[in-house]
Amino acid sequence: KASRFSPLMSVVRHTVITLPTPVNISTWWNFGSLLGVCLAIQIFSGLVLSLHFTAHTDLSFYVVIQSFGDVYYNWWFRALHANGASFFFIGLYLHVARGMYYGSYVFKEVWSVGVVILLLVMASAFLGYVLPWGQMSFWGATVITSLFSALPIIGGDVVIWLWGGFSVDNATLTRFFGLHFLLPFTVAGLAGLHLFFLHDQGSSNPLGVSSDYNKVVFHHYYVLKDLVGVCFFVGPLLGLVYFNPWLLGDPENFIEGNPLVTPHHIQPEWYFLFAYAILRAVPNKLGGVVALAVAVLILLYMPFSPQTAIKGLSFYPWGKALFFSLIGVFILLTWAGAKPVEEPYVVVSQVLSFMYFSYFLLIGPLTRIQDKLL
């Protein structure tokens, strides 16, 4: 019996105990484990919530509201799930930013699987936002799914297929619930593949140099470090759940979805606002959809961009300045996405969108020029 389980125990031991890890990795490398914790929280809380949810346009909104008082601690799981999504995206964006800054994208398989995980998490978050069937849920689903109508020739058929009819209705809600339930398990499987490729190729480090000669075992050095990171991450999450659980939500979503009344300002959750601003910055509908898709898919280009002599931006002052300007642009795009579609916010979004895409075009040549100067 012991030998039957030894291969599994060997994998676990190599993954979290004896894994050789660079001795100089910083706190920015904590976000991988934090995202694993966030995924576990989302799956567990989502499973609990699914036990008391009915995917029907006539019932969903009232079931969600009624379960607050009738189901023991359901409010806590709902607040944890909703705010956990926000913290999940905070961790994801910081994880991606760390990979961009320190050149982790040179590990093509690790990076590519990570981008696919990001896309699936974004899809799952959008599907989950529709389920309470509030005003912003309904109209958000209507606006975002209608974007597929911009596709040439097949656009209209794709939208009808997504809706399961000729409007966002019961069939749409049912299939969104099914997909929202399944996608997190797909993400968990891809996270395992992500770890497999990472452990096969080894972690990067802040200096961007080979660390094969200076490594320590993962346990207990980095296990304890990750546990401290989890405490600092989960603490604010629980504080938000207990003291202000609806701070990051939209008040419109406490009104039942009504196809006859359009909200004055339709907007997604805060973690999609940067992409929403890019979408609105392009006057042409198809152009906006393409810009929206490219805003995320451009991350897949990074492993194939011109490589520098030293991995990462730690020793490239011009590259560092450009990177931190990108962080500022991302924050400003998030701000612009929450504003109405009027001047001067449209022009601001267009300028910021241009700056966002310019980073990916300029960072390679800029660092290569500095390589030649040095």
According to the annotation, is 194 in a ligand binding site?
Answer: yes
CB 131 within 8 A of CB 53: yes
Q: How far apart are CA 118 and CA 92, in angstroms?
A: 7
Question: Is 134 strand, coil or helix?
Answer: strand
According to the annotation, is 52 in a ligand binding site?
Answer: no
Q: Which residue has the tokens 């190729």?
A: 201
Question: Is 20 strand, coil or helix?
Answer: strand
Q: Tokens standing for 41?
A: 């929280």
CB 45 within 8 A of CB 77: yes
Question: Is 257 strand, coil or helix?
Answer: coil
CB 41 within 8 A of CB 241: no
Q: Which CA distances in Å does 39 have to 62, 89, 277?
A: 27, 11, 27
Residues linked to residue 215 through DSSP beta bridges, in sequence order: 22
Q: Tokens standing for 189?
A: 């499987």
Q: How far apart are CA 108 and CA 106, in angstroms?
A: 5
Q: Tokens standing for 127?
A: 């599907």
Task: To the nearest 10°, report the CA torsion of 230, 231, 236, 237.
Answer: 50
Question: Packing angle between helix 317-337 and helix 273-281, nearest 10 degrees?
Answer: 80
Q: How far apart are CA 248 and CA 82, in angstroms?
A: 9
Q: How far apart are CA 12 and CA 45, in angstroms?
A: 25
According to the annotation, is 199 in a ligand binding site?
Answer: yes
Cα atoms found within 13 Å of the Cα of residue 59, Cβ hemisphere only: 8
Question: Is 22 strand, coil or helix?
Answer: strand
Catalytically active residues are 199, 203, 225-226, 269
Counted residue by residue, the chain has a size of 374
Q: Which residues are annotated as a binding site for heme b?
A: 81, 95, 180, 194
Q: Which residues are annotated as a binding site?
A: 81, 95, 180, 194, 199
